[in-house]
Amino acid sequence: MKRILLTLMVIVAGLSVIAPDIKAQPKTRASTRQERMDQWHKDMAEFRAREHQNEEMRALTDSIAGVQATAAVRNQDFVLEVQQVTFKSGMTTFVNTTTNFISVKGNRAVVQISPSNFASGPNGVGGVTVQGLMTGQEFKTDKNGRITYSFNVMGVGVNAQVEIYMIPGTNSASATIYPNFNSNTIWLQGNIVPYENSNVIEGATL
C-alpha cells in the first residue's frame, strides 16, 4: 500500500512539473490587440490633455496681447503690422509686415503700403508712404466689445482717412484706408503691437 501511495505521489509531482503554466502561455492575438487598443486610448487621452493645455496657453497669450494692443491704441502708441492687403479690384496679397503698416506715435501717424518686393516705388521700399499729423481721432467700443479707432492723417499735400477695427480678446485687427489722392480704398489685416515692440521700416514720404 505504501508503495502504491508513493508511486501516485511521484506521478502527481511529475504532472505538476510538466503541466502548462497559464501565466507563461504565449499571448493570444486577442489579448495583444486589446493591449494595443488600451495603449492607443491612453496615448490619445494624453494628447488631448496636452492640446487642451496648449489651447489654454494660446487663449491666455491672445488675451494678454489683446490687452496690450488696446492700451497701446488708447495711448496712441502702436503699430498695426499688416500681413494682408486687399485692393479695390478685389485682389488680395500677403505682404511683408516690416514694410506694410500703420503706425501712431502721439499725434504723428504713418500709413505705408508696399506690396511689391521687386519695384522700389515712390517710397523706395515698394509702395507709398503717407505721414503727417493726426486729426479727428475717435475711439469707440460697441456692446459686444468690438473697438473701432478712426483718424485722419494730414500729410504734405495729401491725407487719408483710416479706420481700424480690433477683434476682442486678441491683437488681431483690420483696417480700411480711404486716400484723398485717389479713390482706391484699401483693406488691411494684421496685428497691433506696442510701438516699441515693432521693427517696421519707414520709406520716403509723399
What is the pLDDT, as a whole number, of residue 158? 73
On whether residue 164 sits in a domain, the answer given is yes
Q: Which residue has the higher pLDDT, 175 or 184?
A: 175
Residue 181 scores a pLDDT above 90: no
On whether residue 125 sits in a domain, the answer given is yes
Predicted confidence (pLDDT) per residue in 68-95, tens digit: 999 999 999 999 999 999 998 889 999 9
**Mean per-residue pLDDT of the chain:** 81
Give residue 157's domain range. Answer: 66-197
On whether residue 21 sits in a domain, the answer given is no
Domains of the chain: total: 1
Distances in whole angstroms, Cα of residue 89 to Cα of each of 85, 140, 155, 161: 11, 29, 25, 19
| Residue 80: strand, helix, or coil | strand
List the alpha helices (DSSP H) in the chain: 2-18, 29-74
Predicted confidence (pLDDT) per residue in 12-39, tens digit: 444 444 444 445 455 576 678 778 777 7
What is the rounded distance in angstroms from the CA atom of residue 14 to the CA atom of residue 10? 6
* pTM above threshold 0.85: no
CATH number of the domain enclosing 148: 2.40.128.410
